[in-house]
Chain A
Amino acid sequence: MNKGQKLILSAVLIVLLFVNLPFVSACAKPVPQVAVHEYIIPTYADVTGPYSELQPIISPSKTLVFDWWNENVGKKLGVKLVSKTYDNRYDTAESASIHARAVVNDKPIAILTEGAPGVLPIIMKVEEQKIVVIHGSPGSGFFNVTEGFVFCPLRDWATLATGSFEWFCEDYWKKPQKPRVVLTIFEGVAGKDIATPILMWEKTYPKAEYAFNGEVQWHPANPVDLSGLVRKIVEEGKPDLISFAGTAVGSAAFYSAMQELGYLHKVPILNPPNVSLTALSEMLGADKLEGDFEYNGINYSPGTEAEKIFMNNINKYRPGTPWGGIGSQFSFQVYLLTRAVERAVANVGSDNLTGQALYDVLNKGEFKADELYGLTGDIKFNPQDRLAGIRTVYVYQMKDGKPQMVGQHALSDVTLSLKKW
């Protein structure tokens, strides 16, 4: 065989190899037992905005659940949920813009949102587009559209906060005099939406005393220094408990002022779920938070099925990510979605999943605690009240550097933001 013949033969062999490669690889692959249908689930998240520091905890916590479910449940059902994150920078204009794009490009059956700006511009649109939205944090009064497509399983801020106040007054303090509570909330529409029903609730709840005649102490959403406010609320208010509701930046400024003025660990602070003890201990160090509290709609105590799945898989995504208030909230958002998908598949099949099919199972649906991987108690959605969902608020306290559940309290069936006072 001369040099030219060798060259031709090698060329023919290479061509044959390429031609046969797809066939060979197809033969080598195991034949899937069920055809898998992919559905893209967009998340509108604040990746580079004011809540960006929470994203390193939220993002792996969610991706992990998607991957775990696809591998363990989705495969059998013939469904693969593909998570796609969009950065809305906590801005409604960006959310509107990415929504226009996501609806066409991803053809989503459901959207996951992580903050109010992600929801506001799409509340009315998703109803027409038949796309279910599951909101990951507690909602606000303006999310509530009767028979709407936006679901807030973690209820609203006011209902959760007052539930935790009731626990403090009825189960935690055993002293004869009424405990004094100071409420400080960030300025803005959302802050007002939280504060007003709480103040109305205070008037009807006689088991506590309220400093400043039941007035809210407002603080800026992104403060630099809160020492003036802290001095006022501690020295004039003489509180047994300070309930601080604000952004991550606000919490950092608040704790800094408490430390500088020497009040830290002298008056307990009740933190909101959006800036949980877990996230705060990442930001400020756990020692600063020792003895402080958090209220949350999620049970993130060790030993739940969700916690086990998280612990077994998190190292594949971001080793060292803590399991706690923030990660569990947004894991729960995905778990709830997957449960709805499972029910919808049973109704319409894996190839016919639509937003309407998901809506139908969520709209009047009841989800039992054992279905929700131990993260919450029973959930019951109400078509007339989109802020209906969980029935229990959990209270955590930082002990020995870790948040530990110290109590739970049944929530009112009536959503406070919507109650006709």
Chain B
Amino acid sequence: MLPSGTFPERYEQDKAVIRTRLQWGLFIGFLVFLFLLPVFTSDATLGILAIMGVFMVAVLGLQILVGYCGQMNLGQSAFMGVGGLMGCLAAMRFNLPVEAALIIGGLAGSVYGLIFAIPAIRVKGYYLALTTLAAQLIFNFVFTRLPKEFFLGTYGGFPVSSPRLLIGIQLTSPASMYYLILVVVVIAVFVATNITRSKLGRAFMAIRDNDVAAQVMGVNIVFYKFLAFSICAFFAGVAGVLWGYTMRYVGVEQFTLIHSVFMLGMLIVGGLGSILGAILGTVFLRTLQEIINTVGPSLAMAIPQLGAGIIFALMNFLVGVIIILFLIFEPRGLSHRWRIFQRFYRLWPFPY
């Protein structure tokens, strides 16, 4: 629903995401706020936001594949791992700038993702989920068996130095890492949003809704499924490189199946088939996790008789309950709730 008084007169206006001056003002204001955040917030918050940003990039990729193209994926963490290991390895070995590492990582993830697009031509749903699960297992199997010379002298992982920009600036502080990740997130959101609004996105959605019907209409489903997997894995690969630079260490055991499941959880909580949903879901679940990380240690110090084990278990249980309640009362995700709020705001004071 458009804000009252908005009448597009040209196709460009009709297709625009941001339509009114107020929306432009709010959007630019929000970006300025994000860029000014390091001035008035602590390094701890920046560190947390950085990790949130890394997950956001991977979840955006997953949204394109799962939410828009309807292809199940339980191997996102493995795609992230391949991208992270290869991108950071190239950067460390050849002293490359972070921009190159991001592209190499993205491409490596993309190539690995393409391999698992092959089964998607024939299978879907639960069966496809199982084949993407193999991506996780093969990733662990192969990368733990590579010789240590491959990983700069250690098995399955290596320390990563601080990223260097193409213009020579070394990003060492938490604020500089935050800016790097913020820029990548902004680009990722821009690209993902425009993919979903283009011919490509419409083809993905046609495949998601009914792949037979899509094929009848002339959509080359093999090509588009390959493309969806490779885009998804590219995003994951970029996220993997950012992960390596954020952690300052990248290793096979950091990319587990539980992370893939957690990212799917972010999608579901945020809302499938919505870029905003991917963002909101990531923010929501990471924030819950951060609440545990903040409140748990303080509670454990305040009530030592209860024991840290019980406190942390209770906190995790509480988070689980919140997610379950959320899915019961808002199964279409946070993005749907946001749309309801938007509509309410625009129609107010009328009830409908």
CA distance A138 to B307 in the complex (A): 26
- B246 contact set on A, CB distance < 8 A: 96
Q: Nearest A residue to B252 by beta-carbon distance?
A: A189
Q: Please report which residues of chain B, range 35-71, place their CB below 8 angstroms from some CB of chain A when the two chains form the complex.
A: 42-44, 46-48, 50-51
Is B193 interfacial (CB-CB < 8 Å)?
no
With A84-B301, A92-B254, A128-B172 already in contact, the answer to whether A105 and B156 are too (CB < 8 A) is no
CA distance A187 to B249 in the complex (A): 20
Binds A, one of B26-34, B219-227, B291-299, B329-337: B291-299
Is A104 interfacial (CB-CB < 8 Å)?
yes
Binds A, one of B2-10, B112-120, B276-284, B309-317: B309-317
Say whether A97 contacts B157, CB under 8 Å. Answer: no
CA distance A96 to B160 in the complex (A): 14
Is A239 interfacial (CB-CB < 8 Å)?
no
Residues 145-167 of chain B, each 1 if its beta carbon lies under 8 Å from chain A, else 0: 10010000011111111000000
CA distance A142 to B157 in the complex (A): 8
CA distance A116 to B47 in the complex (A): 20
- B301 contact set on A, CB distance < 8 A: 82, 84
Q: Please report which residues of chain A, range 89-144, place their CB below 8 angstroms from some CB of chain B when the two chains form the complex.
A: 91-94, 96-105, 116-117, 120-125, 128, 141-142
Say whether A85 contacts B300, CB under 8 Å. Answer: yes
Is B109 interfacial (CB-CB < 8 Å)?
no
- A104 contact set on B, CB distance < 8 A: 42-44
With A188-B144, A189-B155 already in contact, the answer to whether A93 and B292 are too (CB < 8 A) is no
- B51 contact set on A, CB distance < 8 A: 93, 96-97, 100
Is the contact region of chain B dominated by helix, strand, or loop, or is it mixed? helix
- A47 contact set on B, CB distance < 8 A: 308-309, 312-313
Say whether A97 contacts B254, CB under 8 Å. Answer: no
- A142 contact set on B, CB distance < 8 A: 154-155, 157-159, 249, 251
Is B124 interfacial (CB-CB < 8 Å)?
no
Is A313 interfacial (CB-CB < 8 Å)?
no
Say whether A189 contacts B251, CB under 8 Å. Answer: yes
Say whether A101 contacts B247, CB under 8 Å. Answer: no
CB distance from B291 to the nearest CB of A (A): 11
Say whether B247 contacts A96, CB under 8 Å. Answer: yes
Is B202 interfacial (CB-CB < 8 Å)?
no
- A45 contact set on B, CB distance < 8 A: 308
Residues 62-96 of chain A, each 1 if its beta carbon lies under 8 Å from chain B, else 0: 01000000000000000000101111000111101
CB distance from B71 to the nearest CB of A (A): 25
CA distance A124 to B246 in the complex (A): 11
Say whether B43 contacts A124, CB under 8 Å. Answer: no
With A59-B308, A86-B293, A87-B308 already in contact, the answer to whether A123 and B159 are too (CB < 8 A) is yes
- A101 contact set on B, CB distance < 8 A: 44, 47-48, 290, 293-294
Is B346 interfacial (CB-CB < 8 Å)?
no
CB distance from A121 to the nearest CB of B (A): 4
Is B176 interfacial (CB-CB < 8 Å)?
no
Binds B, one of A164-172, A190-198, A265-273: A190-198
A86, A100, A193: most-surrounded residue (chain B CB, <10 A): A100
CA distance A92 to B243 in the complex (A): 11
Q: Please report which residues of chain A, range 23-60, place their CB below 8 angstroms from some CB of chain B when the two chains form the complex.
A: 42, 45, 47-48, 52, 55-56, 59
Say whether A124 contacts B248, CB under 8 Å. Answer: yes
CA distance A3 to B260 in the complex (A): 73
Is A405 interfacial (CB-CB < 8 Å)?
no
Say whether B159 contacts A63, CB under 8 Å. Answer: no
Selected from B157, B259, B289, B312, the residue in CB contact (under 8 A) with A120 is B157
- A192 contact set on B, CB distance < 8 A: 144-145, 155-156
Selected from B294, B304, B313, the residue in CB contact (under 8 A) with A48 is B313
CB distance from A265 to the nearest CB of B (A): 33
Say whether B307 contacts A59, CB under 8 Å. Answer: yes
Is B174 interfacial (CB-CB < 8 Å)?
yes
- A145 contact set on B, CB distance < 8 A: 159
Q: Nearest B residue to A104 by beta-carbon distance?
A: B44
With A55-B308, A189-B144 already in contact, the answer to whether A121 and B248 are too (CB < 8 A) is yes
Say whether B304 contacts A63, CB under 8 Å. Answer: yes
CB distance from B307 to the nearest CB of A (A): 7
Is B253 interfacial (CB-CB < 8 Å)?
yes
- B48 contact set on A, CB distance < 8 A: 97, 100-101
A45, A92, A102: most-surrounded residue (chain B CB, <10 A): A92
Name 9 A/B residue pairs within 8 A (Cβ), A-sorted. Answer: A93-B51, A97-B293, A100-B43, A101-B44, A120-B254, A142-B251, A189-B144, A189-B252, A192-B156
**Besides the known contacts A92-B249, A188-B253, 15 further A-B residue pairs in the complex with CB atoms under 8 A apart:** A47-B313, A48-B309, A48-B313, A48-B316, A86-B293, A93-B247, A94-B289, A97-B290, A100-B44, A101-B44, A105-B44, A120-B247, A122-B248, A187-B140, A189-B144
Interface residues of chain B, those whose CB is within 8 Å of chain A, are 42-44, 46-48, 50-51, 140, 144-145, 148, 154-161, 172, 174, 246-249, 251-254, 258-259, 289-290, 292-294, 296-297, 300-301, 304, 307-309, 312-313, 316
Give the 6 A-B residue pairs with the shortest CB-CB distance, closest first. A100-B47, A189-B156, A104-B44, A124-B248, A121-B247, A87-B312
